[in-house]
Amino acid sequence: MLDLHRLRLLREVHGRGTVHAAARALGYSPSAVSQQLAVLEREAGTALLERTGRNVRLTEAGQVLVRHAIALLEGVEAAEADLATVAAGRAAGVVRVSAFQSATLSLVAPAVRALAASDPDIRVEVVEAEVEQAVPALRLHQYDLAIGDEYDDLPRPVHTDLHRERLLRERLRVVLPADHPEAGSTEVRLDRLAGLVWAGCQPGTGHRAMQLRACRQYGGFEPDLRYSSDDFLIQLEMVRVAGAGALLPDLVLDERGAGLAVRALAGAPLGREVYLITRRTRTPAVAAVAAALHAVTARLPALSKVDP
């Protein structure tokens, strides 16, 4: 009989590409994972993996088995969640949530607080991570729910095996030092900010791509992106203290504090969508966490829920 624990190892190796990566993710040594997979091959009666340089890939038999392994493991997870729900008389179990920083602060934290009162048998575990890292982990059941963001004209990949739904849509604003010459205007044109030093996210992020496109398309200049951090609060501090500019969404600006001028962009209708993404089969506990997140967004100011 095939062992569920070894099937989980096979799924991890398939998802992560190497035995070392799977071992690191699961807290095992690579030799222990290799030994267990060798036992699984003996149980299956055929080779399941073949090496390609430093990586491994599944044989045809391995591909067949991993498809069944995914279905079996999801079934076990659903059974465990249903049993916990029956035992507690309400939604119960562990829900692992991944979210980027501003969503963690403004959406996830209030939802966790609400769930502690409404669904005390749900244990919510929260990790700060960008959606690029969260989606593969979601497939591997490292997370149960992830919150991502998508900037206008910079679509994220479509994941047909996962379920995505909108939480909110928000505008982008230009953030300037309070003493900047343009701070007195209610709307600011980007082409008047060509000489400004900018704070932005790291290369390879959606925010960075948005900022470059916006300055080029609507401002006609190449921005001097001198301060790079994926922490929006650090970006705000670089605006406040170092005299930089930033393009940031409404959700971040709830925490802006003093010394900053937040202005609408003239002639540059920029925004982003914040969404949650889950596996298509949801346990009652995951559904309860998703509902709590929607309830939090429903209470946000209308400014953060504008139409496209």
Rounded-to-integer distance, Cα 289 and Cα 44, Å? 38
Q: What's the pLDDT band for 256 if we cut at 50, 70, 90? A: low
Percent above pLDDT 90 for the chain: 50
Same domain, 52 and 95: no
Residue 163 above 80 pLDDT?
A: yes
- Please say which residue of 33, 53, 83 terminates a domain: 83
Whether this model's pTM surpasses 0.85: no
Same domain, 120 and 139: yes
Q: Which of 47-56, 123-132, 206-215, 278-287 has the lowest mean pLDDT?
A: 47-56
Same domain, 280 and 236: no
Same domain, 23 and 75: yes
| pLDDT at residue 292 in the model | 97
| pLDDT at residue 303 in the model | 44
**β-strand partners of 177:** 260
Same domain, 184 and 40: no
Can you state the angle between helices 4-16 and 60-88, rounded to 10 degrees?
120
Same domain, 290 and 263: no
Q: What's the pLDDT band for 12 if we cut at 50, 70, 90? A: confident
- Tens digit of each residue's pLDDT (9 = 90 or more) over 52-88: 777 778 888 888 888 887 777 777 777 766 766 666 6
Q: What's the pLDDT band for 304 if we cut at 50, 70, 90? A: very low
CB 19 within 8 A of CB 30: yes
Residue 89 above 70 pLDDT?
A: no
Same domain, 152 and 178: no
- Tens digit of each residue's pLDDT (9 = 90 or more) over 201-244: 999 888 999 999 999 999 999 999 999 999 998 999 999 999 99
Rounded-to-integer distance, Cα 21 and Cα 17, Å? 7
Same domain, 52 and 103: no
The Cβ-side half-sphere exposure at 101, using a 13 Å CA radius, reads: 15
Q: What CATH number should be reported for the domain holding residue 225?
A: 3.40.190.290
Q: What CATH number should be reported for the domain holding residue 66?
A: 1.10.10.10
Q: What's the pLDDT band for 154 if we cut at 50, 70, 90? A: confident
- Please say which residue of 54, 83, 112 terminates a domain: 83
Q: Which domain holds residue 175?
A: 169-271
Same domain, 125 and 240: no
**β-strand partners of 126:** 97
Give the pair of three-digit tokens for residue 133: 């890292």
Report the domain count for the chain.
3
Same domain, 242 and 99: no
Q: What's the pLDDT band for 36 if we cut at 50, 70, 90? A: confident
Same domain, 243 and 296: no
Rounded-to-integer distance, Cα 105 and Cα 252, Å? 9
Same domain, 144 and 222: no
CB 91 within 8 A of CB 121: yes
Q: What CATH number should be reported for the domain holding residue 133?
A: 3.40.190.10
Q: Is the dihedral of CA 82, 88, 94, 98 positive or negative?
A: positive
Q: What's the pLDDT band for 24 if we cut at 50, 70, 90? A: confident
Count of helix runs (H) and strand runs (E) in the chain:
11, 12
- Please say which residue of 83, 114, 145 terminates a domain: 83
Q: How confident is the prediction for the chain on average, in pLDDT?
A: 87
Residue 278 above 90 pLDDT?
A: yes
Which candidate, 293, 232, 234, places its Cα nearest to that of 95? 293
3-class secondary structure, 208: helix
